Each structure stands twice: as C-alpha cells, then as structure tokens.
Amino acid sequence: MPQTLSTREANLFRTVIRHYEDKQYKRGLKAAEQILKKNPKHGDTMSMKALIMNAQGKTEEAFALAKDALTIDMKSHICWHVYGILYRTNKNFDEAIKAYKFALKLEPESVQIQRDLAVLQVQMRDYQGYVQSRFAMLKARPQVRQNWTALAIAYHLDGNLSQAENILTTYEKSVTSAPSKTDYENSEAVLYKNSIIAEVGDIERALTHLESDAKNSLDRLAVMELRARYLAELGRKEEAAKAYRALVERNSERPEYYKRLVDVLDIPEGDEAVLKAVYDEYAAKNPRCDAAKRLPLDFLTGDNFRAAAKAYLNLMFDKGVPSTFANLKHLYSDQYKRDIMPILAEEYLEERKSNQVANGDSSKGAGAALYFLAQHYNYHMSRDLAKASSYVDKAVELDPKNTDFHMTRARIYKHQDDTQKASEAMDHARSLDTRDRYINSKAAKYQLRNNENEKALATMGLFTRAETVGGPLADLIDMQCIWFLTEDGEAWQRRGNVGMALKRLHTIFNIFDIWQEDQFDFHSFSLRKGQVRAYIDLIRWEDQLRDHPFYFRAALDAVKLYIEMYDKPQGANGVNGIDGKTTNGEDAAEKKKAAKKAKKEAQKAEREAAEKAAKQDPNKPSAQKTKDVEDTKKKDDDPTGLRLAGTTDPLADAMKFLGHMLQFSPKNIEGQIAGFEVFIRKKKYLQALRCLKAAMTLDKDHPTVQEQITKLQKALDPILDTLPPKVQEVISLEFTPAVAKA
C-alpha cells in the first residue's frame, strides 16, 4: 500500500531529496530522521536515508536499511529504485537490473528508471533486454532522433542488422524538412547507416548510398576511405585507384593507402620496377615524405634493394634520425637484407670519414651510423654483443654526452645478463638528460629488472605529480601505469615477496576492471553527442579488452605464482607474505622476522589512521566531509599484500585471472599450459584436458605439452574408474586417441 504523509512531512521528504542531490548528506539525514520520528515505518524515507548513507560510504548499513524499507513497502517504486541504485554503485549490475525491472513494473511511466535500466542492460550486454527498453523509450518519445538511433544501435548490437537499418530509414522518412548541412548528428547517423549496409555485405548498395546520401557528410575522410574501399571490393579498379590516389595526395604518410593503391593497379607479380615507380612518384612530389621511400624496401630484392636501402640509410644518417633502426628492423626476417644492412652502414662511415659533416651534432653523420650498427648487433636476430659493444664505445667516444648511445650501452649489458651494470648504465644515461621522461622511465625499468624496487620508485617519482596523496606509487596507480606495475610486481616476485607481487598484479587486474566500467558513461554520452560509429567501435573494443598483452602478462604471472603457492604451502603460523626461494632454517627465521615487522607496521598504520579519524571534528562542513569519505574509500587496507599472500585457496584466486586469460587469448600456448596446471591440481580433468588439447593444436611438439600428456595420464590411471561414467566416456573418446596421435 502506498504510504501517505501529511503535507508537512511530504514537504520535508522533498527536502531530503534536495539535500541528497546537493550532496548535503548530513542535513538530508537530519530531515529524514524528522520524518521517521513521526512515521517510523515510512518506506520511501527509509530508502532515501539508505541512499544517503551509501553516498557517505556506509554501504553495509545502507543495504540493511534499504532491505528493511522494502519489506515494509514492497509496492513502492522508490524503494525498488533505491535498491537498484545501491546495487549499481556497488557494481552488482545483475542484481541492479532485477531491482530496476521491479521498480519499472510498479511505475511503468518513469523515464528515469527506464533510462537507468537501459544503460545497465547494454553495460551487461543484455542486448535483447536493451532492445525492449529502447523500444519502450522510443514509444514514449518518438519525436526525438536519439531514441531512433538508440533503437537501431540496440538491434545492431543484437545482430539484427536489417531491422537496425529499417529503424534508421523509418526515421529519415518521417522527417519533413531537409536536415541542414552542418547537422553533425545527421551526418554521423547517415554514415552509421552506411556502415550497417556494408556490414550486411551489400557493398553495391553501400556505395550507392554513400554517393547519394553521405556525399555531403562532415566526415570527408571517412567518406573518401569508404568509397575507395567499396570500389576496390566491387572490382571497379580504375575508379578505386583514382580514389586511393586522392587519399595518398591527402596524406602521403599512410602505408595502408599505398598498399591498397598498389593492390588495385594490377601490377604483374614480381615487377619491382613498376611497383617502385608508384612510390617514386610520390617521393618526388613530397620530398620530405618518409613512407614513399621506406615502403619500397619491404618488397625490393637484390641489387634493387641494396641501392634503395643505401639511399635511404644515407639520408637518415645525414639527417640523424634516432628511430632509423627501429624503423628498419622489420626487414630482418629476410636473411639477405639483414646481412646487407651493416655493410651499407660501414660504407657510409668510410665515405664520410674524409668529409666530416657532423658540424658538432653527434646524432648526425658518423654518430648516427655507429648508433645504428650498435643496435644492429644488439638485435636478437643479428646479435653479436662484442661487436655491439665496440660500436657503442666508438659512438660514446665521439660524443660522451649523448643519451641514446648510453642507453644502447645499457641494453647491451642487459643482453649480457648483467642487470646490475645495465641498471647503472641506464641511470647514467638518465643523468645526462634529467628532463627526458622517456629515459627516466627506461632507467626505472632497468632498476626493476635489477630488483631495485625502491630505487625505481624514486626514479619514477621524479616525474610523478608531487602533490598526490600517497606519493609516487599512488600517482602511478592513478595514472594506470601498467608497465611499471608489471615490472615492479615481477621484481618483487624475484625477490620472493609474494605479497607485494600479488598486490601489483591485482592492481593491474583492477585497472582492466576500471576500463570495463569506464564505458558506463558512454552509453548515454555518445548517443547525446551523436557519435554513434565511434561508440560501436568502443563497445566492440570493450568486449575484447582483456586480450591485451598487458593483461595476459600480468595474469600469467599471477597464475604461476598461485600455482607455486599451492605447491609449497607455508608454515602453520599463517604468515606467508615473504617467501624465500629456498626454505632452510635461516631463511625461515628471517621470514618470520620480516613478517613480524610487516605486521607491526600494518598495525602502526592502522593505529595512526584511527587516531587521525578520532581527531576529526565531527561537526565539519559537509564539503570537507565528502572529501573525507573519498579519502577513506581510497585508503588501502592491505598495502603490502599480506592478506593476498595469506590466501587459503590459491587455486580459486588463480581462477580470477585464468578465466579471462583463456577466454580472450586462447591461442597463447603459455596460457593453456598454465591453465592445465591449475585444473589438474583442482582435479577438474575435463578442463585440464581442454587446455591440453588446445596446447596440442597450437604446438604438439612443445616439450611442456608432452610432459603434461604424461602427467594427465598418470593422474587419470588410478582414478579413472571412480569418475562419473560420462566423464570416462569423454576421456576415452577425446584423450586416448589424441595421445595415440601425439
């Protein structure tokens, strides 16, 4: 039953809402208390109170109160809505959707609830639900274009392309006046429709549509690119060539344009001269253009290559382009090209010996060639570290103050496995240019490779924001500096500090979670801005987020660490933050000491925090209060990862990382191998078999894979009869023949 309030209280209730909106939580609470004094069982007020408490960071109490409110007033959409909001702020989106749906049932007219629900549905990829929500929203307000576009997007994401196009067309037909030429929303919507037509595969129609409807689109480049692509796909090569030439004229540095231009030119296979002529034309037209000179090196062979490479190298050395080697190493998969590069660089040195052009700048001329040679012999496909050293020495001799030269020297040390020297050399390079963030980061990375975590953090601290609470590390986490966190975690792992290593790896995991959540705002924002095509790209990118190599690396580290922890359970004292590589008596004692120290420190920090909290004036203005709330939210209650390292079920924790890893990077054999190790320890033989079969498909001669086959056989032999009959059957059907083949 709806509970009614007296006029006075109803007014008070509105103040509660207003205070909540203005983030004046204390006042809001006060007003809510006033109502509750007279009507202690008023569900809506209780819900609002819960909402305010949640905003103050008292999540658990808020949930309890909201639940009470619901039991009192089951039929109130406010109560259900608040419940949904609570779930949403705590990232439990599935439950939030349920609560919103209930609220909507009670109050089908609420635009607000409907909109929130729709956003949640698309966030959770419930596309069918999203279609329904969007349809309801369109029905409520068909005069707004956004609602039409949104419904089309919903159908599009749900895979119903023809309906998506149909929706867009329907709207276009219902418009009476022609859209203005500067209408950005219209321009984007038309191109969006075009992309849908192309996605269906009807290129002919996409081209027609593009040439008629999207001709005046504001995104000229997109129209040009699409048109060229469609023409090429339709085999209208002459027109396509013309279109691609127009694109090259517009931007002569984009390799893709050249490649596609060449594709439609029908050049006979292996005719390098004609091919090169295409590039030469643009190189002549744009003397400063790099792509037209660099790209031919990819396909030229023999003497043609030699001549072109020589010209290119000479130009680059004369100019002193530091990235020359990085730009050319892709050619090294070709033996001939790999061998000829150093010869050309040597020739250059010989020729320049007589006429010094360096005029004081060591990065040009001879210096550049020596630098190139040092990198050449340092590269893994053409490695000769002694030679690399001698070239870098010569380069340094030429100019002892050049950062790049010293940096290469450090890399050579690294490849000699002397991390100590490498770290020192890189730090020396850093000292030559303390305002260069790149070399600063490099120095920190080399320090981490040498297990100098504290030093590396100090180095990074030279470039982080000074005023960040929590110091450089907090800033690096805020800035989502994943490479640093990974390297730092791996260094801690090498030092045997499992807690810190896990801490960093979990931080990386959380950063990917944040990226996932970041899209939340864009469901409505992109629509409002009319940037629909970019939005679709975003959604598709988010769906593949965790196939990122950064994620894979961190996840693999974590899984391996957890397997190690499972195999070597720690002593009964329950402190396994510090894990020595060897477990002799001395180490154990040290471990205990270190753990004790860490515990003490943690307690001290806790005490300090408590004192700080106690000192706070309870009657502070609300602005200060909200800031405090933020601070407490940010505070890390396990800064050294002791709790993470103290897990009782490492395999379950490993699953958190492993699931995504296997789902998004199934073709990485390292991941499958690690997955097998987890599953066989969990005695989930079918899942282990799945990883094993995947690994066998990827590379059945991999030594670890062979080992794992035996391992699984050995594990299964004694217990096969005890497994459920259907599992036995699957194993005999899938495992036995696979082994026979291997």
Partner 1 sequence: MADRQPPNVVEGATTGADVEDEMEPVAKSAEDRKAAAALSKLDTHGDDDAAAPARGVDQEAVLNAMNALGGGAKGADDKKKQEALKKVKVDAADVALLVDELELSKAKATEMLKAHDGDAVKALRAFVAPAF
Residue 694 binds partner 1 (CB under 8 A): yes
Name the minimum Å distance from CB 729 to partner 1: 5
- One-letter amino acid at 695 equals A
CB 519 within 8 A of CB 535: no
Cβ distance to partner 1 smaller for residue 173 or 714: 173
**Footprint (CB under 8 A) of partner 1, residues 286-345:** none
Tell me which of 138, 153, 341, 651 binds partner 1, using CB under 8 A: 138
Cβ distance to partner 1 smaller for residue 131 or 500: 131
Q: Is 31 helix (H, G, I), strand (E, B) or coil?
A: helix
CB 559 within 8 A of CB 502: no
CB 549 within 8 A of CB 467: no
Residue 59 binds partner 1 (CB under 8 A): no
Per CB under 8 A, the segment of 171-179, 215-223, 328-336, 434-442 that binds partner 1 is 171-179
Residue 704 binds partner 1 (CB under 8 A): no
Neighbours of 294 (CB within 10 A): 21
Residue 161 binds partner 1 (CB under 8 A): no
Tell me which of 10, 274, 284, 311 binds partner 1, using CB under 8 A: 10
Q: Hunting for tokens 């060897």 — which residue is that?
A: 582
Residue positions counted in the chain: 742
- One-letter amino acid at 725 equals P
Residue 132 binds partner 1 (CB under 8 A): yes
- The rounded distance, in Å, linking the Cα atoms of 141 and 134 is 11
Cβ distance to partner 1 smaller for residue 143 or 354: 143
Name the minimum Å distance from CB 648 to partner 1: 18
- One-letter amino acid at 60 equals E
The pair of structure tokens assigned to 84 is 């949904």
**Footprint (CB under 8 A) of partner 1, residues 89-118:** 89, 107, 110-113, 115-116
Name the minimum Å distance from CB 88 to partner 1: 6
- One-letter amino acid at 457 equals L
Residue 160 binds partner 1 (CB under 8 A): yes
Largest CA distance in the chain: 100
- The rounded distance, in Å, linking the Cα atoms of 653 and 649 is 7
Residue 533 vs residues 131, 187, 231, 537: alpha-carbon distances, Å = 18, 11, 21, 6
Tell me which of 7, 143, 354, 356 binds partner 1, using CB under 8 A: 143
**Footprint (CB under 8 A) of partner 1, residues 11-40:** 14, 17-18, 20-23
**Footprint (CB under 8 A) of partner 1, residues 521-550:** 521, 524-525, 528
Reference 248, options 284, 201, 272; nearest CA is: 284
Residue 690 binds partner 1 (CB under 8 A): yes
Cβ distance to partner 1 smaller for residue 47 or 576: 47
Name the minimum Å distance from CB 668 to partner 1: 11
For the purposes of burial, counting CB atoms within 10 Å of the CB of 474, is it exposed (0-12), middle (13-18) or buried (19 or more)? middle
CB 94 within 8 A of CB 117: no
Name the minimum Å distance from CB 724 to partner 1: 6
Per CB under 8 A, the segment of 197-205, 284-292, 442-450, 681-689 that binds partner 1 is 681-689
Per CB under 8 A, the segment of 79-87, 279-287, 294-302, 444-452 that binds partner 1 is 79-87
Radius of gyration of the chain (CA): 32
Per-residue mark of binding to partner 1, 436-475 (x: CB under 8 A) = ----------------------------------------
Q: Is 548 helix (H, G, I), strand (E, B) or coil?
A: coil
Tell me which of 238, 518, 590, 630 binds partner 1, using CB under 8 A: 518
Neighbours of 664 (CB within 10 A): 18
Between vectors from CA 136 to CA 131 and to CA 142, what angle results, nearest 5°?
A: 110
Cβ distance to partner 1 smaller for residue 302 or 659: 659
- The rounded distance, in Å, linking the Cα atoms of 193 and 168 is 7
Residue 686 binds partner 1 (CB under 8 A): yes
- The rounded distance, in Å, linking the Cα atoms of 246 and 81 is 55
Cβ distance to partner 1 smaller for residue 139 or 319: 139
CB 268 within 8 A of CB 274: yes
- The rounded distance, in Å, linking the Cα atoms of 35 and 16 is 10
Per CB under 8 A, the segment of 323-331, 337-345, 536-544, 679-687 that binds partner 1 is 679-687
Name the minimum Å distance from CB 655 to partner 1: 8
How many Cα neighbours within 13 Å face the side chain of 174?
A: 11
Residue 77 binds partner 1 (CB under 8 A): yes
Could you give the residue ranges of the DSSP H alpha helices within 584-649?
585-615, 622-634, 642-645
Tell me which of 42, 49, 81, 503 binds partner 1, using CB under 8 A: 81
Cβ distance to partner 1 smaller for residue 287 or 549: 549
Residue 632 binds partner 1 (CB under 8 A): no
Cβ distance to partner 1 smaller for residue 137 or 578: 137
Residue 385 binds partner 1 (CB under 8 A): no
Per-residue mark of binding to partner 1, 551-580 (x: CB under 8 A) = ------------------------------
Residue 271 vs residues 34, 178, 276, 340, 386: alpha-carbon distances, Å = 88, 51, 9, 22, 40
Q: How many residues bind partner 1 (CB under 8 A)?
A: 83
Residue 173 binds partner 1 (CB under 8 A): yes
